[in-house]
Structure 1
Amino acid sequence: MTAIKLPEIFQNGMILQRNKKIKIWGEAEGAWRLTVSFGGDCVSADVKDGKFYCEIPAKEAASGQKIEIFADEKKEPDIVIEDICIGDIYIAAGQSNMEYFLRYDAHWNEIKEWEQNDMIRMFNCRRIAYPGQNRELPDCGSWFKEHDYQWESFSAPGYTFARAIQPVIGVPVGIIGCNWGGTPACAWMGSSYLNEEPLSVFQKEYEEALMSADEEEIRRCSRKAWEYEDSYPHQIAWRAMMYGMNEQDQERWMLETADAPVLPMGPYHHYRPSGLYEMMLKNLAPFSVKGVLWYQGESDAGHGEIYDKTFSALIRCWRDLWQDELPFLFVQLAPFGKWLGIGGEDYPVVRESQEWVSKNVPGTGMISIMDLGMYEDIHPKKKKEVGERLALLARGLIYGEDILCESPEFMGGEREGNRIRLHFSHTGEKLHIKGNFIKSLRAEQDGISRIVKEFRLDQDLLLVFEALSEEPVEIKFAKEGYCEVNLFNEADLPVKPFAAVII
């Protein structure tokens, strides 16, 4: 009897990537050769050690397609996958701000009323932390459309990106959610990439955490913690948290859950180095995709000074896994003050590392959301804006439109008597503010820090103030953990954080 098993990504209603080889693989028993038929092509795949792999020539965008797989010389297919579209597919990856469910978005009531777009398909990878873990995840592991039951618990940035980009490019768009809240970048990277200095710190910290731990105790505590994590009462309580709580309610919530089981670091933890690379990402590759949308870095704030190297290595790791120079569009961390006892004071360092990657790693682009942060919540609620900015960036950097799609970036400045002129790229016709003064802008000279109140805006920013001396002036903009940026370019994209010494 023939038994053919495909990766979970191959299901009815799926999307395949246009203009790239279509890669199909899986397991087979009771057959020595398979024939895969798709779009007028028939490709043979030998079964070796119970596994097979084949490539179908690249196709243009289409809909209403089907895959048929025949075992040996059979005339009837053993597997038929129907309602297939061909278009552009993006992986929505990262931690909780990418995982962030659509139902929590500030615009959810508006989004629910949008006319359905059947050219958008979504898929959530199962969040499995260790081999053999059994979790009931009804919203994961299948392709779906808008208004299906899985929709409201899909990535809000990923979906709103698709909704913004699909009408522009005019082909089907697929979004694959491969994300998990709280995860550090090292969890999504192969172990060989973490052997390099200084990234070996993640493996060293993991090994140190295990040194004094008892294996059986870790197993027992992990089982108990996962039972709690997946319990209905905890899910309901966490849902209330994700909708948003003020600081007082958060403190009450922490007191009420103080005795909850804690998942110990170890082989059952989804934060461990390379864990999700092995358990989630490798199950997806080498499924052809257009690119990656990345929103992560909060959990790397403790090692923010090396996040440029961490993220650069992650990008290289993923590109190596796919054997494809995938574009990476990512989100600079939003302003954040305090949430559940943790703070955003280390975020400026991560933001600097993220900007370095955008300037130095080819095929990457970064959006700024320094105007969308929330002091009392690490999860900004306006994810629709995040998705739309990623789509705007994709239109310029990936699809080649001549549009203003990037945030203004500081390019230099000079003194003109008691004035300082600052130059920016990506301004459009002129900069503008929302309000009466520029927030989070300070000038420091001779150890004295002052708010700059007098200014003029065009493509430059002209600051007017009374200099204390001829000493250099340091200008700082949006360099705090939490701030409210209100300086924008013509496309309403916020100016990115910067610091500069003007002589």
Structure 2
Amino acid sequence: MARIELPEIFQDGMMLQRDKTIKVWGSVSGAERLRICLCQEEVKAEVNGDKFYCEIPKQSASRGETLTIYVDEKEAPEITILNISIGDIYIAAGQSNMEYFLRYDAHWNDVKKWERNDDIHMFNCKRIAYEGQDRDFTDSGIWFLEHDYQWETFSAPGYSFARSLQPEIGVPVGIIGCNWGGTPACAWMDWSCFEEEPLNVFKEEYQQAMASIPEEEIKKKSIVAWAFEDSYEHQIDWRAMMYGMNELDQKEWMERNAGDPAVPLGPYHHYRPSGLYETMLKKLAPFTVKGVLWYQGESDAGHADIYDITFESMIECWRKLWQDDLPFLFVQLAPFGVWLGIDGNDYPAVRARQEMVSKNVPGAYMVSIMDLGMYEDIHPKEKIEVGERLALLARGKIYGEDLLCESPEFIKVDRLENKLILHFSNTGENLVLKGREIKSLIVRQRECIREIKECEIDTKVALTFESLSEEPLEILFAQEGYCEVNLFNEAGLPVKPFLTTCM
């Protein structure tokens, strides 16, 4: 008797990617040949040992399709998958600000009243830290729609992206959540990425951590810590934190939970290099998708000086795994002050490296959310806006619409006696200032801040000073860990951080 097993993502109500070759694979026993049928196409699967793989020719967008798998020459299908939609699918990946549950969003009370759009499909990959880990997943491993019970614990940015994009492109949109809070980029990369400098630092740090504690002790502590992590009591306690706490409440929370079990860095930790690449990402690949949404970098602040190399290598790694030059739409880190004893002092360096990736990597595009940060929380609550900006960026960069989809970017400065003229791209008709003065803009000369007497704004920013000496000037914009950017382009997108010298 034949036995066929498909990856979990193949199930009733699923989505498949339009206009690209559709890849189907799995394991099989008791069969020499398989036939896979979809949309009047029939293909034979290559069976190699206990594995099979096939490619179905690209299909146009549609709804209500059926995929069937036949064994050898049997007339009745062995597997039938019903109610398939074909459209555009994106992976919503990264750490907690991408994982961030919809129910925690500032707009949740309004969002849950929205009329259901059956052309938005969602799927959460199971968060597995190590092979064999037994976790209870009620919201993962199944395709679902708006207002299904899994909806409120889905990625708020990912969902918002789909909700904004789908009416504009007119085809079904699918979002696959493949994310986990606190994870560094190295957790999502193949081990081979860490062989050479400077990325070998991740391998070395991991090996040092492993050498500092006996393996049996690591295992024992990990089992206890994961049991605590998955306990109902801890989940309820952590939920209160995710809704938001002020600094005083955070301090009390940390004191109350100071003795909680913690997973040591090792083979059972989801932060370890290449861990989630093996346990989550490779199980999803090579499922055909349109592109990737990425929001991550907070956990790489300690290695901010190499984040551009890290992120570029990760993108290359994913594209190699999929054998597809997938576009990456990613989010620049939001302003942030302090949260649970950590701070955002290294964030400006990460943001600068993220900007470099957007310049150096073809098909990598960045949105800025420098107006959406929170001083006391690493998790900004306005994630609907994040998804909307990602969708706007997709419309311009992936779907080729002629619209303003990127934040204003500093180009150059002209110096005219006691004036500085700042030039920007992506402004639209005019820059828009929300307030009386530009926040987080500093002009320095000899380490002294020069007072701005007058500011005129159109597509440029003209700054007038009482006087300027001939010495070089430094111009800094949004270079703090936390700041409140209030200068926008015509599309409501904030000016990106910049730092420049004027001779």
Same fold (TM over 0.5): yes
1:317-361 deviations in Å (ceiling 9; x for gaps): 000000000000000000000000000000000000000000110
Query: SS at the partner of 2:278?
Result: helix
The 3-state SS of whatever aligns with 1:47 is strand
- Using structure 2 for the length normalisation, give the TM-score: 0.99
Using the TM superposition, give the Cα deviation of residue 287 of structure 1 relative to its aligned residue in structure 2, in angstroms. 0.5
Give the whole-Å Cα distance in 2 for the aligned partners of 1:231 and 1:451: 55
One-letter code aligned to 1:499: L
Whichever residue aligns with residue 4 of structure 1, its letter is I
Provide Cα deviations, 1:451-500, integer angstroms capped at 9, x if missing partner. 53520001111011123421121111000000000000000100000011
In terms of mean alpha carbon deviation, does 414-423 or 463-472 score higher?
463-472
Following superposition of structure 1 onto structure 2, how do residues 6-21 of structure 1 map, counting pairs within 5 Å?
6-21=6-21
Aligned equivalents of 1:275 and 1:236: distance in 2?
27
1:19 aligned counterpart, secondary structure? coil
Partner of 1:252 in structure 2? 252
- 1:289-343 per-residue CA deviation (whole Å, 9 max, x = no partner) reads 0000000000000000100000000000000000000000000000000000000
Identify the residue that residue 85 of structure 1 maps to in structure 2.
85
2:501, 2:52 → 1: CA distance? 60
State the alpha-carbon separation in 1 of the partners of residues 24 and 125 from structure 2: 17
Specify the alignment match of 1:457 in structure 2: 457
Q: AA paired with 2:127?
A: R
Question: Is 1:164 aligned with 2:145?
Answer: no
State the partner residue of 2:45.
Answer: 45
Equivalence map 1:190-209=2 (5 Å): 190-209=190-209
Is 1:181–2:155 an aligned residue pair? no
Equivalent-residue separation in structure 2 for 1:282 and 1:219 (angstroms)? 24
Distance 1:451 1:115 in 2: 51
Structure 1 residue 58: Cα displacement: 0.2
Distance (whole Å) between structure 1 residues aligned to residue 85 and residue 191 of structure 2: 35
Distance of 2:366 and 2:431 partners within structure 1: 19
User: Which AA in structure 1 matches 2:323?
Assistant: Q
Aligned residue in 1 for 2:282: 282
Rounded to whole Å, the distance in 1 between the matches of 2:111 and 2:447 is: 50
2:24 matched residue in structure 1: 24
Aligned to 1:101: 101
- 2: CA distance, partners of 1:197 / 1:89: 35
What is the CA–CA distance in structure 2 between the aligned matches of 1:452 and 1:173, rounded to whole Å?
48
Contact 2:453 2:466 in 1 (8 A): no
Could you tell me whether the CA contact under 8 Å between 1:421 and 1:462 is conserved in 2?
yes
- Secondary structure of the 2:48 match is coil
> How far, CA to CA, are the matches of 2:468 and 2:267 in structure 1?
59
Aligned AA (1:500): T
The residue type paired with residue 182 of structure 1 is G
Q: Would you say the 8 A contact 2:451–2:465 is kept in 1?
A: no
One-letter identity of the residue aligned with 1:16? L
Matches of 2:285 and 2:247, distance apart in 1:
41
Is the 2:450–2:465 Cα contact (8 Å) retained in structure 1?
no
Matching residue of 1:313: 313
Q: Which AA in structure 2 matches 1:89?
A: I
CA contact (8 A) 1:431 1:460 kept: yes
Q: Structure 1: which amino acid aligns with 2:311?
A: F
Any residues of structure 2 matched to 1:74-473 within 5 Å, and which?
A: 74-452=74-452, 454-473=454-473
> Aligned equivalents of 2:45 and 2:62: distance in 1?
24
**8 A contact 2:417–2:468 mirrored in 1:** no
Q: Please give the per-residue CA displacement for 1:97-123, whole angstroms capped at 9, x wherever unaligned.
A: 000000000000111111110000000
Does the 8 Å contact 1:292/1:327 carry over to 2? yes
Report how far residue 32 of structure 1 moved. Answer: 1.1
RMSD, matched Cα:
0.7
- Whether the aligned pair in 2 keeps the contact of 1:446 and 1:468 (CA below 8 Å) is no
What is the distance in 2 between the residues matched to 1:157 and 1:194? Answer: 30
- CA positional deviation for 1:446: 2.1
Deviations 1:393-415 (A, max 9, x none): 00000000010000000000111
Match of 2:486 in 1: 486
Separation in structure 2 between the aligned mates of residue 315 and residue 453 of structure 1, nearest angstrom: 45
Alpha-carbon spacing, 1:468–1:460, altered in 2? closer, same or farther (3 Å): closer
Report if aligned partners of 2:410, 2:424 keep a CA contact under 8 Å in 1: yes
Specify whether residues 231 and 360 from structure 1 end up closer, same or farther in structure 2 by C-alpha distance, changes over 3 A only.
Answer: same
SS of aligned partner of 1:390? helix
SS at match of 2:499: strand
Q: Are the aligned partners of 2:251 and 2:340 in contact in 1 as well (CA < 8 Å)?
A: yes
Q: Which structure 1 residue ranges, 4+ long, deviate > 2 Å from structure 2? A: 450-453
In structure 1, distance between residues paired with 2:181 and 2:429: 39
Q: Secondary structure at the match of 1:196?
A: coil
Residues of 2 paired with 1:29 and 1:311: CA distance? Answer: 40
Structure 2 CA distance for partners of 1:161 and 1:266, relative to 1, 3 Å:
same
Deviation at 1:276, TM superposition (A): 0.2
SS for the counterpart of 2:84 is strand
Asked whether the 8 Å contact 1:441–1:452 carries over to 2, the reply is no
Aligned residue identity for 1:355 = E
3-state SS of paired residue (2:253): helix
CA distance in 2, matches of 1:451, 1:282: 55
Q: How many residues end up aligned between the 2 structures?
A: 503
Greater mean deviation of Cα atoms: 264-273 or 444-453: 444-453
Cross-structure match for 2:72: 72
Contact 1:437 1:453 in 2 (8 A): no
Query: Which letter does structure 2 place at the counterpart of 1:277?
Result: Y
- Report if the CA contact (8 A) 1:32-1:48 is conserved: no
Q: Alpha carbons of 1:424 and 1:53: their partners in 2 closer, same or farther (altered >3 Å)?
A: same
Alpha-carbon shift at residue 47 of structure 1 (Å): 2.4
Relative to structure 1, is the Cα distance of residues 77 and 453 closer, same or farther in structure 2, using a 3 angstrom cutoff? farther
Gaps of 5+ in 1: none
- Deviation of the 1:73 alpha carbon: 1.4
Between stretches 264-273 and 460-469, larger displacement belongs to 460-469
